[in-house]
């Protein structure tokens, strides 16, 4: 499994595999061939260890170099090449001295296909072709063991990711609709309770000057105080 320090919080490993052991057949055959040739050379070509010791050591050194190139190096490459699928991304790591890696987020994967030649069908492996979004080229994972099972696992992760994305989109749409409905509803003032009658208004009393009607009325004359020339007695 992938190291936990390389995983994000909430990320889970679905599978962590190396290439199919089919890639080790050629190194194993090379090891057998070199061993057989070395044995024949030491037995038939330089059989005397006393007079032909130098040639024998030369043959051994050549055999070791051939084993290192055609057996040990491919074995190290096979051991250091891994493919990991998590719930968030597809991780590919390879390299013995210089390590190279590639991470593909699951939400950028458009489709996953596979290719199987006759030799792949015999050994039960194949090549996964991951089609990604954007300008990046397709990613090919060679010699994937149990390829049909791995394909189903990747497709299941894609379906789960799409379902989660749809759920988030629906939640956002519901929030927007709720906000629009709250903004469009009219705001009404609270009404007075029905069982409490309103107090009647009291008309104000006008204490100012009299109305114009009063000004038009004639001023009353006092008979006791007013006199005329006719009432003046004559002497």
Q: Which residue, 112, 109, 111, 107, is CA-closest to 169?
A: 107
213 pLDDT exceeds 60?
no
Domain-embedded: residue 110: yes
* The pLDDT value given to residue 62: 95
- In sequence order, what are the residues at sequence separation of 6 or more whose Cβ sits closer than 8 angstroms to the Cβ of residue 17? 82, 83, 84, 144, 145, 150
Residue span of the structural domain in which 94 resides: 9-159
In a domain, 35, yes or no: yes
Residue 210 lies in a domain: no
DSSP state, residue 57: H
pLDDT more than 90, % of the chain:
18
Per the structure, the count of domains in the chain is 1
CATH number for the domain harbouring residue 47: 2.30.29.30
Answer whether residue 22 is part of any domain: yes
Residue 167: pLDDT above 60?
A: yes
pTM above 0.75, yes or no: no
Q: Is residue 188 part of a domain?
A: no
The secondary element (H helix, E strand) that includes residue 209 is none
Nearest to 106 by CA among 163, 161, 166: 161
pLDDT the model gives residue 5:
60
Count of alpha carbons within 13 Å of 234, Cβ hemisphere only?
2
């Amino acid at each position: 499994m992938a190291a936990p320090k390389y995983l994000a919080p909430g990320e889970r490993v679905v599978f962590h595999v190396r290439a199919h052991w089919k890639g080790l057949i050629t190194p194993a055959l090379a090891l057998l061939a070199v061993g057989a040739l070395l044995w024949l050379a030491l037995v038939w070509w330089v059989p005397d260890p006393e007079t032909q010791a130098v040639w024998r050591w030369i043959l051994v050194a050549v055999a070791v170099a051939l084993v290192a190139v055609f057996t040990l190096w491919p074995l190290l490459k096979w051991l250091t090449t891994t493919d990991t699928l998590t719930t968030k991304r597809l991780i590919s790591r390879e390299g013995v001295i210089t390590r190279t890696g590639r991470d593909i987020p699951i939400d950028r994967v458009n489709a996953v296909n596979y290719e199987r030649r006759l030799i792949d069908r015999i050994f039960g492996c194949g090549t996964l072709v991951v089609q990604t979004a954007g300008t990046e080229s397709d990613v090919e994972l060679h010699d994937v063991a149990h390829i049909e099972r791995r394909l189903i696992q990747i497709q299941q992760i894609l379906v789960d990711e799409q379902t989660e994305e749809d759920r988030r989109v629906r939640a956002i749409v519901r929030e927007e609709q709720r906000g629009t409905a709250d903004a469009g509803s009219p705001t009404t003032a609270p009404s007075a309770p029905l069982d409490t009658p309103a107090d009647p208004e009291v008309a104000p009393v006008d204490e100012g000057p009299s109305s114009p009607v009063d000004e038009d009325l004639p001023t009353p004359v006092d008979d006791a105080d007013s006199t005329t020339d006719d009432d003046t007695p004559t002497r």
